[in-house]
Amino acid sequence: SQTIHQWPATLVQPVGSPLSLECTVEGTSNPNLYWYRQAAGRGLQLLFYSVGIGQISSEVPQNLSASRPQDRQFILSSKKLLLSDSGFYLCAWSRTGGTEAFFGQGTRLTVV
């Protein structure tokens, strides 16, 4: 069966510090991978998606970047965090050509 791991679960970082959130998927090959941010009252905002190694598409210009160094690994990064980067970050995967997405447990990021 397929599983998705996302860590850490919670993170408190000072403004201006770097960020690295990691997500890995097990039990499948060549998944589509997604990073979402969820803010209160704003729903799920798609940040990045990837259909293959090294292939990253950005949905929203911002202070964040994503990388996919391996087939089942997706990383969300920032060089300098802003207060506005606080939120609940979710990694998700779907099968190639699939429709439904499966989510990790999320990382609650607080920038102070």
Partner 1 sequence: QKEVEQDPGPLSVPEGAIVSLNCTYSNSAFQYFMWYRQYSRKGPELLMYTYSSGNKEDGRFTAQVDKSSKYISLFIRDSQPSDSATYLCAFYSNSGYALNFGKGTSLLVTP
Query: Among positive and negative, which fits the CA dihedral 3, 46, 7, 109?
Result: negative
Task: Between 15 and 110, name the residue whose CB sits nearer to partner 1.
Answer: 110
Task: Between 76 and 90, name the residue whose CB sits nearer to partner 1.
Answer: 90
Cα(18)–Cα(34) distance, integer angstroms: 20
101 belongs to the binding site for partner 1 (CB under 8 A): yes
35 belongs to the binding site for partner 1 (CB under 8 A): no
Cα(108)–Cα(34) distance, integer angstroms: 16
Residues at the interface with partner 1 (CB under 8 A): 6, 32, 34, 41-44, 46, 49, 51, 57, 88, 90, 92, 99-106, 108
